[in-house]
Structure 1
Amino acid sequence: KSDKGKRIMDWKAASGIPWNIVLLFGGGFALASGFKESGLSLWFGNQLSFVGNYHPIIIIAIICFMMTFLTELTSNTATTEMLLPVLAGLSVSIEINPLIFMLPATLSASMAFMLPVATPPNAIVFGTNRLRVIDMAKNGLMLNLIGVIIITLVTWFLGTYIFDIQTDVFPDWGHIK
């Protein structure tokens, strides 16, 4: 008998797929692609070019702080996918190696320790009913701030060495096409 018309998957298998995750990733990738293709990421980067007046370590700290606290309320994947193209545009605008901003942003997206909604592990811990939100928020705030400091310093002192990032030279591969 021919395989023509035979289904790849039945409804039982399809209903077991975590579609919310598929849509979250797909939507994030589509949004990031739209930012890049439309030129919006470069435009945003140009709008933020005034931060080029600050020392790169200050910009890194601001990025870490922003990402850490944004991901307390939003998906770390979606936030990262949305902001990395903007950081790439900013890097082009102020002519600095994009890795110096994108690496700490990516790492900081995983530093959400304050709220139960921030990550599934936070929700699991909160679900034990042994912690109150205020307890998580107080302790998580300290962990978030420590994370911002560590990621900023590691990026500046170790990341530039490991990834051979020269902050005064814009790499040829860094241009947004």
Structure 2
Amino acid sequence: MTAAQDDLVRASSSTTPSEFTVIETPRVEDGAAIWRIARDSEVLDLNSPYSYLLWCRDFAATSLVARDGTGEPIAFVTGYLRPDRPEALVVWQVAVDRDHRGRGLAGTLLDALTSRVTQGRGVREVETTVTPGNTASDRLFTAYARRQGARLEREVLFSEAVFPHGEADRTGAPTADHEPEILYRIGPLAA
């Protein structure tokens, strides 16, 4: 996908000519909407609202937001380049607002982000983690690897044993058990 293509993507199930999706770099003002989309996904680990604001400021170059025809964020992908392996783009979170799911927007965001980040930066692979119960993410990244013509390797990155168990969070509620995080390494990517 070219830079021009990833700037404007027509929604496939659009019913009105003015309804479209723009994909662009997130702005700090998008942090609250991105937090809400993550919260409403019901599968992502929800970070603090503050962290999403920082993400939109500090990692905007390796993240994207999709906007509807009114300019409101409807989906996002956040990522960063690994400090010890800058050839690896780590995809932190991908989420699509409930009303906009089923249109391939998450895959479009991944493709657009890869296109943008690989240009001139030496990025050769994508890493992400997926819990065993998250079949939607498994399908998303498996399909992404196929589209890229890249190998997909999986291994346990963080076992459930390293997560806190039964300790009280700030509300006093015990932390829930956490599934292991499986590392998906996808590459090499075409330059």
TM normalised by structure 2 equals 0.29
Larger relative contact order (CA 8 Å, sep ≥ 6): 1
Which of the pair is proportionally richer in strand? 2
TM-score of the pair, normalised by structure 1: 0.31
Larger Rg computed on CA atoms: 1
Judging by fraction of residues, say which structure has more helix: 1
